[in-house]
């Protein structure tokens, strides 16, 4: 049976690749816009076993599943699982908040955190959740204000004003926010209206030994045994509306919440995932693939590898640094490994060849008709040329992003003083003007220094600037690098020592003293600020203009390419690339064969956790309470077949931003949380692989077992709606409803 399934999958994949890499209608590929489900997906989903209607998934006028799904902080997804605003997401999504509340005395990273009652739930300044109220196709409104004679530069400059007009109209008589997003490379535009809540409190999180079990070693890998979840609660004002944090706020009365099923997950079961996927590039052409393999990915891997070496050494040496940098380290390492895997799989799948083959087919279709040739004849040639031009400049852009805007932190932090410098330079600046310009630095100072270690950042500063000087062509380097060469003989450690000895941006005491009496001369001479502005000013004056012009050409030709592809295949359903807007993907629970003579089953168990256990290795440490429960086989009502299932895989199409997305069964019940993709399909953001692509999910039964047995948080279990068997066959709401209405 297994061998036959493998043969069928390979045959399907062969047919898929033979047809080109763009978007055949497949149940397991696609991040679909919710307002198109009725037209494009409902029938296919129901053939796979889904018992939901399109209206139950997405409705503007009635409560639907989309009303339980939130964008968490703009970087993850969560879902409401009780009528009192309880929200579940991934552990790695909540890690920053867990870390922010931790200290050597209260080490929630190591020990976990479980609020005993509502008063014990911990506030998180700056964290928000955003509910989608509605989406609307506004392509016509946008295009009626775009003349066909506009250049790409003029078009780009016109769009923000058009978007503003549309979003202002959508939010005129309400407290919502809105944005207009480009779809299909700018061939379509959609309005998204949101309701945002800014009081989100930490309720519970397991220890790192559960929530991050396997660490970097297992990251992006299957089999997996990670309990990647955390719990938050959304609070509102007493009137039920969004409000800033206050002790007087009350738990949100959910418009919609999702029940949990512990009836079990089996192979071939229908799965649906809703969330806010960040970014895919499925329409990327061969030139873009080549640039990724030759320029972008190797550079990011090289820089992050060095960052990790420095940060991990300091974390190992100092417990306080470990707590401060755990979340930062995880963010760096996640995409360090991702880009290694993406490059490997792009080569394995020969994605560049697939893309060139598609471009050849496109050219043949174009050249077969004079009218098409007039519209699309130069598109693929122009795209290849633009990527060649971009590749010559893009290495500098990658280094700028990774070094100036990420780590070391002193560069991005000090660069935040540019507005203050501008005000100080003005002849008529008042004390009020100066203090207003200094306000963001004042406001961000506490948050910045709370998780900052000077020695670590100095080591990063020296190492990153040295790599910049080594890898970026001399003619593309800012003047500060010539100063380092002439004054310090390219001794970057010596330069770093001077910068950190002299800069006001290294400690809160120095910065506060400076901001109390800001001085233009002192700011301009500050070595950290001087380094940051030298690099940024040179980039903007010498490289940014050229890159912008290339990007304009890429945008114009990519828009034409996608338009032509859709015209070339009028009977094929296409979906737009992910762009942090709410999407739905559907598929089923499936195993796979990663390589010759190797088979991966579709679920893992707690027995695998114990097989990996190594208490001398921080990634595979098991706490005593966990081990005791395992020895007793105390799995409660969450066990299956004498063990406890930990994770399972499905062939849903997801990407970054989907972290924390709930996996729903055919009845709309929560059966797991998506938290990762698999190594063999790391090319997925650019090319979907129907044979190898899998989404890795933590089983909701494992989540509930950890909450109840390890967290001793029975009150949270009691708050949820947990179903132990499938609902009856007669029609009933797919999710729990409330009577709360939301004005549209």
Which residue among the candidates 67, 228, 457, 689 is catalytic per the annotation?
228
216 catalytic? Reply is no
633: left (phi over 0), alpha (psi -120 to 50) or beta: left
Using the structure block, give the residue that is written with the tokens 């300091």.
314
The answer to whether 325 touches 375, Cβ cutoff 8 Å, is no
The answer to whether 432 touches 330, Cβ cutoff 8 Å, is no
Peptide bond into 609 cis (omega under 30): no
CA distance 249 to 241: 10
The answer to whether 64 touches 737, Cβ cutoff 8 Å, is no
What is the dihedral sign for C-alpha 168, 172, 177, 179?
negative
- For residues 691-711, one letter each, b for 16 or more C-beta atoms within 10 angstroms of the residue's C-beta and e for the rest, the string is bbbbbbbbbbbbbbbbbbbbb
Q: Which residues contact 632 (CB under 8 A, 6 or more apart)?
A: none
Which residue among the candidates 23, 92, 407, 448 is catalytic per the annotation?
92
CA distance 648 to 223: 9
CA distance 79 to 672: 11
Could you tell me the two tokens for 138?
A: 């506004």
DSSP state of 255: S
What is the dihedral sign for C-alpha 320, 323, 327, 329?
positive
The answer to whether 694 touches 651, Cβ cutoff 8 Å, is yes
CA distance 544 to 197: 37
Coil vs helix vs strand at 114: strand
Coil vs helix vs strand at 307: helix
Contacts of range 36-41, beta carbons closer than 8 Å, 24 or more positions apart = 37/584, 40/573, 41/584, 41/586
The answer to whether 199 touches 572, Cβ cutoff 8 Å, is no
Task: Work out the angle at residue 334's Cα, subtended by the Cα atoms of residues 699 and 273, and round it to the nearest 5 degrees.
Answer: 35
Residue-wise DSSP of 383-448: HHHHHHHHHHHHHHHHHIIIIITTSSHHHHHHHTTHHHHHHHH-TT--HHHHHHHHHHHHHHHHHH
Q: Which residues contact 208 (CB under 8 A, 6 or more apart)?
A: 109, 110, 326, 618
92 catalytic? Reply is yes
Best CA proximity match to 573, nearest among 30, 186, 47, 188: 30
Q: Which residues contact 574 (CB under 8 A, 6 or more apart)?
A: 22, 23, 184, 565, 566
Which residue among the candidates 503, 659, 661, 683 is catalytic per the annotation?
659
Active site residues: 92, 228, 659
């Amino acid at each position: 049976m297994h061998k036959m399934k493998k043969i069928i999958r390979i045959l399907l994949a062969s047919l898929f690749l033979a047809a080109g890499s763009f978007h055949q209608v497949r149940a397991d590929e696609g991040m679909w816009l919710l307002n198109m489900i009725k037209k494009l997906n409902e029938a296919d989903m129901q053939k796979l076993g889904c018992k939901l209607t399109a209206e139950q998934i997405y409705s503007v006028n009635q409560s639907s599943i989309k009303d339980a799904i939130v964008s968490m902080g703009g970087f993850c997804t969560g879902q409401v699982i009780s009528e009192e605003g309880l929200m579940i997401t991934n552990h790695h999504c909540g890690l920053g908040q867990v870390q922010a509340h931790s200290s050597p005395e209260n080490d929630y990273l190591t020990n976990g955190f479980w609020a005993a009652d509502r008063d014990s739930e911990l506030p998180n300044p700056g964290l928000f959740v955003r509910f989608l109220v509605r989406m609307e196709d506004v392509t016509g409104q946008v295009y009626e204000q775009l003349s066909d004679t506009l250049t790409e530069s003029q078009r780009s400059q016109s769009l923000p004003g058009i978007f503003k007009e549309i979003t202002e109209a959508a939010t005129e008589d309400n407290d919502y926010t809105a944005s207009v997003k480009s779809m299909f490379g700018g061939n379509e535009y959609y309005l998204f209206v949101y309701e945002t809540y800014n009081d989100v409190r930490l309720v519970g999180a397991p220890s790192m030994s559960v929530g991050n079990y396997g660490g970097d070693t297992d990251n992006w890998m299957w089999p997996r045994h990670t309990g990647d979840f955390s719990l938050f609660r959304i609070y509102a004002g007493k009137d039920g509306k969004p409000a800033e944090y206050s002790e007087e706020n009350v738990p949100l009365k959910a418009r919609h919440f999702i029940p949990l099923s512990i009836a079990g997950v089996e192979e071939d079961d229908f799965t649906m995932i809703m969330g806010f996927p960040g970014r895919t590039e499925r329409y990327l052409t061969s030139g873009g693939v080549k640039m990724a393999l030759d320029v972008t990915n190797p550079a990011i891997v090289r820089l992050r590898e060095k960052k990790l070496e420095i940060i991990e050494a300091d974390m190992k040496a100092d417990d306080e640094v470990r707590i401060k940098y755990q979340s930062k380290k995880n963010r760096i390492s996640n995409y360090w490994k991702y880009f290694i895997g993406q490059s490997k799989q792009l080569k394995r799948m020969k994605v560049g060849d697939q893309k060139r083959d598609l471009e050849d087919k496109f050219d043949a279709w174009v050249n077969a008709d004079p009218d098409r040739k007039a519209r699309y004849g130069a598109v693929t040639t122009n795209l290849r040329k633009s990527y060649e031009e971009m590749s010559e400049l893009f290495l500098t852009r990658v280094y700028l992003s990774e070094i100036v805007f990420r780590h070391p932190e002193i560069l991005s932090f000090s660069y935040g003083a540019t507005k203050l410098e501008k005000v100080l330079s003005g002849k008529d600046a008042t004390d009020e003007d100066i203090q207003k310009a200094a306000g963001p630095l004042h406001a961000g100072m506490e948050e910045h220094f709370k998780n900052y270690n000077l020695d670590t950042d100095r080591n990063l500063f020296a190492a990153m600037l040295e790599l910049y000087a080594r890898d970026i062509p001399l003619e593309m380097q800012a003047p500060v690098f010539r100063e380092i060469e002439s004054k310090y003989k390219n001794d970057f450690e010596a330069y770093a020592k001077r910068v950190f000895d002299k800069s006001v941006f290294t400690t809160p005491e120095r910065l506060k003293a400076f901001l109390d009496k800001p001085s233009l001369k002192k700011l301009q001479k500050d070595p950290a600020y001087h380094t940051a502005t030298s690099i940024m000013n040179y980039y903007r004056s010498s490289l940014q203009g050229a890159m912008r012009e290339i990007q304009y050409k890429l945008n114009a030709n990519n828009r034409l390419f996608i338009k032509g592809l859709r015209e070339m295949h009028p009977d094929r359903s296409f979906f737009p690339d992910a762009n942090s807007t709410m999407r739905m993907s559907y598929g089923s629970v499936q195993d796979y064969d990663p390589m010759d003579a190797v088979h991966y089953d579709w679920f893992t168990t707690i027995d695998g956790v114990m097989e990996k256990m190594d208490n001398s290795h921080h990634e595979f440490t098991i706490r005593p309470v966990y081990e005791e429960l395992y020895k007793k086989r105390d799995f409660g009502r969450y066990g299956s077949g004498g063990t406890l299932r930990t994770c399972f895989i499905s062939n849903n199409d997801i990407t970054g931003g989907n972290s924390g997305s709930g996996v729903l069964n055919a009845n709309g019940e929560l059966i797991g949380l998506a938290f990762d993709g698999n190594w063999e399909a790391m090319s997925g953001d650019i090319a979907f692989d129907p044979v190898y692509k899998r989404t890795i999910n933590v089983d909701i039964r494992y989540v509930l077992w950890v909450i109840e047995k390890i967290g001793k948080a029975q009150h949270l279990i009691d708050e949820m709606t947990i179903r132990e068997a499938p609902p009856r066959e007669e029609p009933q709401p797919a999710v729990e409803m409330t009577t709360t209405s939301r004005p549209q």
